[in-house]
Amino acid sequence: MKTLVVGKDGKVSIQEVNKPKYNEYQALVKTIACGMCGTDIKLIHRTFKGFPESVYPIMLGHEGVGEVVEVGAKVKGFKVGDKVLLPFVDPDPENLPGLGSGWGALSEYAVVCDPEAPWPDGAPDCAFAQTVLDDDLDPVDATMIVTFREVLSNIRYFGITPNDSVVVFGCGPVGLTYLKFMSLLGVKNLVACDILPEKLAQAKDYGATYLINSKEQDVAAEVRKLFPEGVDYVLDAAGVPAIVTQGMALIKDRGSVLCYGVPEKEEVTIDFSKADYNWRVIYQQMPRKREEGAAHAQVVEWMRSGQLNIKDFISDYFTFDQSVEAYDKLLAHKIMKKGIITF
């Protein structure tokens, strides 16, 4: 099969490798599509936690959808023809020598684990998010459901409620999803911050109540005009550690700065001189797959009711043969929303 690989030098290329092997509790899928993600950028930059240079070169991609083409002998929950979210390609020194895995969903074939199969020690955590899609869902656009579920599970983990006030830094695909979902959940005091006017305009359409251009305006002054005592939450949806310190001037007593994703540096220096005495910083670097799977039903319900239009979050489609070019565009900030690679 062909797979997209990041080399030790950060160069992205398409390579031909063996198909992944699967065990009796797993199924082999033929990849249909895979979303492009900020996680991929950090892997290309070789700054993602837990991925030292020694594991490179790595296979890229984690927001995949595939069609089941073969099933293991003890599989109960999958059948040939099923469309399944989150297939992965694990490292395999014998079958895929010299290749690490950045989850590997940007490959022509990948593997899913059956949560209903009789695993001797219980199914792995990823199995509970490798969900079979209903037939009425477009399997290409459904790659966006991975982001949707991660965001909703994080909102639940963070404990955000309708009465809370939230400042969101970053209005890319993730930030817009947070704004949309918090709005759907009844949160009305939503402040969007970004440096690009076009992204702020999008944020208003996705539920932001107030807009602040953080390049042209004093964010702290603007937020304090709206909320003199500060806000309940500041959410870093951009993956910039400096936002933690910036958020200190915005949160109220016992407020929280919420950080989603893995920062490029594994240390954060916080200047809390402008904060009140009591505050929290909460990192959610890797959503738990059981929680992600548990968010699936609500996401699909919003989609079917018309409250959530998946097309609103997607800006670009590429074929797999264009994937190197596609990541060049992502790295150059030329993809405004979600980019999807199709097979």
pLDDT tens column, 103-123? 999 999 999 999 999 999 999
pLDDT(239) > 90: no
pLDDT(70) > 80: yes
Amino acid found at 154: N
Q: Which domains does the chain have, with CATH numbers?
A: 2-139+309-342 (3.90.180.10), 148-284 (3.40.50.720)
Sign of CA dihedral 96, 100, 101, 104: negative
Is 313 in a helix, a strand, or coil? Answer: helix
Percent of the chain whose predicted confidence (pLDDT) is above 70? 100
pLDDT(266) > 80: no
CA distance 287 to 304: 24
Contact 311, 287 (CB under 8 A): no
CB-side neighbour CA atoms (13 Å) of 190: 29
Contact 153, 291 (CB under 8 A): yes
Per-residue pLDDT, averaged over 262-269, amounts to 77
DSSP class of residue 172 equals: S
Give the model confidence (pLDDT) of 176-190 as tens digits.
999 999 999 999 999
Helix (H) or strand (E) holding 149, with range, is helix 144-158
Q: Quick one: tokens of 183?
A: 């709005």
User: For residues 51, 55, 56 and 59, what is the CA-based torsion angle, rounded to 10 degrees?
Assistant: -80
Considering only CA atoms, which of 272, 269, 266 is closest in space to residue 250? 272
pTM of the model: 0.93
CA distance 224 to 220: 6
